[in-house]
Amino acid sequence: MTLLPDPQWSSLLLAGAVLVDLLLSLKPVAFIRDCLDGVRFPRDWWWTLLVIKSMALVGLLTGLVVPGVGLAANVGVVAYFCCAAVAHLRAGFLNSTFWINCLGFLVLAVATLLVGFVV
């Protein structure tokens, strides 16, 4: 295992996806609003997701030069989407948002972890 991502493009790809997700969440577009409402995440707490996504983005980018930070951020993104998947399952909200966005991000985050830090 390495403490700096190799290849770096894997972490940059995940960081790009997190950035797009963050931007779409600033003023949540319809599918994000529907998703958060579908899993019954309180609207008063939506701002926390912006903080989490911002920290993930900063961690992934910082981790390109600071050993261990990117690994920790990547593990955090995996944990975030594991929690999101559990929220979907508990709420029974298993539409395309779950299959494409939630599980898609989870697969991307796990693949980035494996490609960038393990293999």
Could you state, in order of their start, the residue ranges of all structural domains in the chain?
Answer: 8-118
- Convert the pLDDT of each residue in 15-30 to its tens digit: 999 999 999 999 999 9
Nearest-Å Rg of the Cα atoms of the chain is 14
**Among candidate residues 12, 33, 15, the one with its CA nearest the CA of residue 24:** 33
**DSSP 8-class letter at 5:** -
Beta-carbon contacts of 82 under 8 Å, excluding residues fewer than 6 positions away, are 106
- Convert the pLDDT of each residue in 37-96 to its tens digit: 999 999 999 999 999 999 999 999 999 999 999 999 999 999 999 999 999 999 999 998
Taking the model in full, what pTM does it have?
0.94
